[in-house]
Amino acid sequence: MTFENAALAFEARSIAANHSETTIRLYSMRLRLFGEYLRARGVERVEDVTPALIREYIGGLFERGLSPFTVHQTVRILKTFFHYLHDEELIPANPSTRVQKPILPELPFPVFSDEDIRKMLDVCRPIGYLGIRNGVIIQTLISTGIRAAELCTLNVDGVNLRDGYITVFGKGRKTRVIPIRAEFKGDLVRYLAIRAAHLERCRLLGYEVCENAAFLTNHGGRLRVHGLTQQIGKIGARAGVEDARSSPHTFRHTFATNWIKAGGDLFSLQQILGHTTLEMVRRYVSLAAADIAKKQQRYGMDLLSLGRRKK
């Protein structure tokens, strides 16, 4: 079987399994790049792929300067791909079994400070629909920890103001119920009323609108991840945020870190974030501990300085 046909069979399997479009595109892109590497070495049939070829490809990714996280993700995809082929008896042996995943460095997650959040909300002063929308987006991200794609696919009928929760569609098409703070409900009520007026205005102007999307564009369509990422980047730049990358995912890191520092339990955090294992959650624990130790050290130095001034 050619590698190209094997990749098409794997894509058909992903579609049949109802994987998200984002996941299917990611897997297809990584397999296409690996297929180009194989063809450059004269390997056309998937049965001829060896562990040595896979390791050589991985080493080449590091040499090109790709991050350990990107390479790690690529290895995971290749392992899933070859496991599928072997499980379906399309290849006699799985060449990725003995290929190890690269070790990921324990890098700290960048998080927003309370001052960063305040400045970004100040930038989103309630002027027009987009300003109000952006302010509510920031409050939603920082108070729920949802992913960018989950926020963009959030529907109006997924917002339950009476019982205080939102329903999002996470990875693997899994739904997740996430509580919202009581003090945030009032802002959501006002926003949804303004959103309805904006939607009607766009409809009267002849734009193709998205009736159920919670967060709309200027023309009434559903806000997409790329547009959200651009908006957060612009807001962060205008607010002068410097110590953390202004991206939707940084809000997720900030939410998780604040949860741990406030004494929240790991299992509840795992459920809220939608992680299948505790591995990622434990990394937030390490980050929170490091942040607390840093603040304690600074606080101790401040007390020391104060004591010296009193003498």
| Statement to judge: residues 59 and 150 lie in one domain | no
Quick check: is 98 in a domain? no
Cβ neighbours for 30, distance < 8 A, ≥ 6 positions apart: 73, 74, 77, 78
Domain total of the chain: 2
Is the distance from CB of 141 to CB of 284 less than 8 angstroms? no
The pTM score is 0.71
| Statement to judge: residues 118 and 75 lie in one domain | no
Strands 165-169 and 175-179 come out as antiparallel
Quick check: is 41 in a domain? yes
Q: What is the pLDDT of residue 73?
A: 93
Length of the chain: 311
CATH of the domain at 73: 1.10.150
Quick check: is 307 in a domain? no
For 193, the domain range is 114-295
Q: How many whole angstroms separate alpha carbon 119 and alpha carbon 233?
A: 13
| Statement to judge: residues 135 and 267 lie in one domain | yes
CATH of the domain at 209: 1.10.443.10
Quick check: is 236 in a domain? yes
Cβ neighbours for 234, distance < 8 A, ≥ 6 positions apart: none
| Statement to judge: residues 61 and 118 lie in one domain | no
Per-residue pLDDT 10s for the chain (311 aa) are 999 999 999 999 999 988 878 889 999 999 999 999 999 999 999 999 999 999 999 999 999 999 898 999 999 999 999 999 999 999 999 999 999 999 877 666 788 999 999 999 999 887 789 999 999 999 999 999 999 999 999 999 999 999 999 999 877 678 899 999 888 899 999 999 999 999 999 999 999 999 999 999 999 999 999 999 999 999 999 999 988 889 999 999 899 888 888 888 888 888 888 887 777 777 777 666 655 555 545 444 444 444 444 44
Q: What is the pLDDT of residue 182?
A: 86
Cβ neighbours for 23, distance < 8 A, ≥ 6 positions apart: 14, 171, 172
| Statement to judge: residues 205 and 68 lie in one domain | no
| Statement to judge: residues 163 and 264 lie in one domain | yes
Place of tokens 């590091």: 62
Quick check: is 240 in a domain? yes
| Statement to judge: residues 11 and 133 lie in one domain | no
Q: Mind spelling out the 3-state secondary structure of the chain?
A: CEHHHHHHHHHHHHHHCCCCHHHHHHHHHHHHHHHHHHHHCCCCEHHHCCHHHHHHHHHHHHHCCCCHHHHHHHHHHHHHHHHHHHHCCCCCCCCCCCCCCCCCCCCCCCCCCHHHHHHHHHHCCCCHHHHHHHHHHHHHHHHHCCCHHHHHCCEHHHEECCCCEEEEECHHHCEEEEECCHHHHHHHHHHHHHHHHHHHHHHHCCCCCCCCECCECCCCCECCHHHHHHHHHHHHHHHCCCCCCCCHHHHHHHHHHHHHHCCCCHHHHHHHHCCCCCHHHHHHHHHHHHHHHHHHHHHHHHHHHHHHHHC
Cβ neighbours for 101, distance < 8 A, ≥ 6 positions apart: 72, 75, 76, 79
Quick check: is 302 in a domain? no
Q: What is the pLDDT of residue 287?
A: 62
| Statement to judge: residues 250 and 133 lie in one domain | yes
Q: What is the pLDDT of residue 304?
A: 46
| Statement to judge: residues 152 and 256 lie in one domain | yes
Quick check: is 174 in a domain? yes
| Statement to judge: residues 209 and 285 lie in one domain | yes
| Statement to judge: residues 290 and 142 lie in one domain | yes
Quick check: is 286 in a domain? yes
Angle at which helices 279-310 and 248-261 cross, to 10°: 70
The token duo for 241 is 């945020």
| Statement to judge: residues 152 and 191 lie in one domain | yes
Q: How many whole angstroms separate alpha carbon 100 and alpha carbon 79?
A: 10
- In 3D space, the residue among 131, 151, 140, 144 whose CA is nearest the CA of residue 223 turns out to be 151
